[in-house]
Amino acid sequence: MNQGIRANRGGRGETQAADVRLTSSELIRISHFAVPEPLAPFVTTLYHFTCDEARLSDVIPAGIGYVMVLLKGTPSVTFGDKVAVPGLPLSLLTPTSAAAQVQADGALHLVGAALSPLGWGSLTALPAFDYRDRVLPADDFLGEDAPRLLARWQDGYASGLQGGEAISLELAAALASRMTLPPPRHIALIRDTGAWLSSSLAPAIGDLGTGSGYSSRQIERLVKRYFGATPGELVRKYRALRVAALLQSPDCTDEQAAQLIDLFYDQSHLIREMRHYLGRTPSRLAGEESALTRAVNGIDNYREREPSFARIPEG
């Protein structure tokens, strides 16, 4: 492949990503935990992230939304060219239009849950497009027990009585108890949108929602409400995330990689899209990926599992 698109390497412990030097993933530890079955339609990933370096710089790929519990340290999040926003002890990162930069001075330990479109709508009932690229207090969505839960998690973690897995499962139970399902027709359109996105790397906009009974304007409004993007933006985002994952696969041959790159106008277009939605090019093209990208790569966040219309159990 073209050697000219390999990223420049930074100094010890860092790699270059666009204009930001990322902390090496070798200096970051990430553990993933199985999402409890009742919560699986709403949360795609549970993870425990730790970095004990004096300075952390990483990126979170564009996604539907993330609930994060800060256990040690405080990060700042920068959306595009906006001013950095400090993280909150219980943070809800709203749907993002592009990859977000995460930085911290000193150690950073957190537990996180990546939301699906159904999870976003069921937890917040907020229009995703209108609230994208923000950090909101997750306390508002976890109820009056949120301060008590946060104190127990932080104290238990500091004392060594609770680890990342135990806290992530308690977070999952807290989220499950707060889910309120949208109308059935909305759920059906969310599911159809996920299937439409999975049908092709470049699905036709006109094929979305056929048979749903909604007009094209209504479909766009509902997609923006639950996915935080227009259908056209969603195609771009999903294609970039999916192609990045395929290019990083060890089974991807040079011939297959060339076919994937042909989905874009040229390699420059591919790199711009990857940087926009992932914060950097995939490791197949430019060295190792960011640790947070590896932890919460947003591809599965757009796929919907069949939800139960019964009340979600509390844990």
The set of residues, in sequence order, having a beta carbon less than 8 Å from that of 84 and lying 6+ positions away, is: 76, 77, 78, 101, 103
165 has a pLDDT exceeding 50: yes
299 has a pLDDT exceeding 60: no
CA separation for the pair 73, 60 (Å, rounded): 17
Which pair of structure tokens corresponds to residue 41? 């339609």
CA separation for the pair 127, 105 (Å, rounded): 33
Cβ burial 188-218 (10 Å sphere, 16+ → b, else e): bbbbbbbebbeeeeebeeeebbeeeebeeee
**Whole-number pLDDT of residue 257:** 77
Which pair of structure tokens corresponds to residue 287? 């060295």
The set of residues, in sequence order, having a beta carbon less than 8 Å from that of 211 and lying 6+ positions away, is: none
CA separation for the pair 176, 170 (Å, rounded): 10
Query: Which residues face 100 on adjacent strands?
Result: 60, 79
Query: 260 versus 67: which is more confidently predicted?
Result: 67
**Whole-number pLDDT of residue 107:** 96
| pLDDT, tens digit, 9 for 90 and up, residues 78-136 | 998 777 898 899 999 999 999 999 999 999 999 999 999 999 999 999 999 999 999 99
> What predicted TM-score, i.e. pTM, was given to this entire model?
0.82
Q: What are phi and psi of 271, to 5 degrees?
A: -65, -40
Domain boundaries defined on the chain: 1-315
179 has a pLDDT exceeding 60: yes
Q: In what order do the strands lie in the sheet with 108-115?
A: 28-33, 43-51, 108-115, 66-72, 90-93, 135-137
Contact 201, 263 (CB under 8 A): yes
CA separation for the pair 152, 292 (Å, rounded): 25
CA separation for the pair 227, 204 (Å, rounded): 17
Q: What are phi and psi of 68, to 5 degrees?
A: -130, 135
Which is it for strands 20-23 and 76-79: parallel, antiparallel or unpaired? unpaired
**Whole-number pLDDT of residue 47:** 95
| pLDDT, tens digit, 9 for 90 and up, residues 49-58 | 999 999 999 9
**Whole-number pLDDT of residue 311:** 33
Helix (H, G, I), strand (E, B) or coil at 55: strand
Instruction: Report the C-alpha dihedral over residues 307, 310, 311, 312, rounded to 10 degrees.
Output: -30
